[in-house]
Amino acid sequence: MAETTAPRRTRRRRQPLTRERVLRAALTLADERGIEAVSMRKLGEALGVEAMSLYKHVAGKEDVLDGIADLVMGEFEVPAAGEDWRAAVRRGAISAHRALLRHPWAGSVIESRLKPGPARLRYLDAVVGAMRAAGFDLATVGRAFLALDSHTYGFTLQELAWPFDQERAPEMAAVAARMFEGAYPNLLAMAELAASSPTGVPVEFEFGLDLLLDGLERLRERG
């Protein structure tokens, strides 16, 4: 009888640790459990390694936060040279808004970083370049940047803090209408309007963005 040999057990090779892999794991951890969950110990657990081994690839938690902030910035659409300034800035702002909604922790982290990464610098430089090419002076570009950022980050923060889903807006507006009745006639009118609409008062990031861009275009035309 021929001798049978047991099948050789193959050992699965562990995926090597890299800076990219560490940062992607931190991004997933922040998305799933919140930015407070991002620590070197928990990151090591998520990757199945000792926390000390992470220091070969990242300098520490602040370096990790710098890195994942820049990963999110990499999801912002960068204006291309030669594009119409308004279309380019508008698309960039909309893409930023969507990225910040996908990563609810990211707005405050991005704005708190002292060491902006290459993705953020590339985006900011392209927006400044698009506006300068359109004829805006640098002082106006700086002020416009603050206004656009305030709308993008502020509107997103307000959306994320909303205490109920948009589908429940008419129901909640009806509750508010009863509370406003007899004391706040203008709020009552607004609540009644929202209660009669399938989605309540529309939550439209683009509405405020277009108001800002309209104003900037008028400034540009006046020189």
Q: Please name the residues in contact with 58: beta carbons below 8 A apart, sequence gap of 6 or more.
A: 19, 22, 23, 64, 67
Q: pLDDT band for 168, please (50, 70, 90 cuts).
A: confident
Model pLDDT, residue 119: 97
Chain mean pLDDT for the chain: 90
Give the confidence band of 207 by pLDDT, cuts at 50, 70, 90. Answer: very high
Distance CA 119, CA 192 (A): 45
Whole-number pLDDT of residue 84: 95
- Rounded mean pLDDT, 121-139: 96
Domains, the chain, ranges and CATH? 19-58 (1.10.10.60), 73-161 (1.10.357.10)
Distance, in Å, from the CA atom of 48 to the CA atom of 190, rounded to the nearest integer, reads: 53
Torsion sign over Cα 167, 170, 176, 180 = positive
**What is the per-residue pLDDT across 31-80, written as a single tens digit (0 to 9) for each?**
999 999 999 999 999 999 999 999 999 999 999 999 999 999 999 999 99
Q: How far is CA 142 from CA 31, 62, 128, 212, in A?
A: 31, 27, 8, 14
1 has pLDDT over 90 = no
What confidence score (pLDDT) does residue 200 get?
66
Nearest to 117 by CA among 68, 55, 59: 68
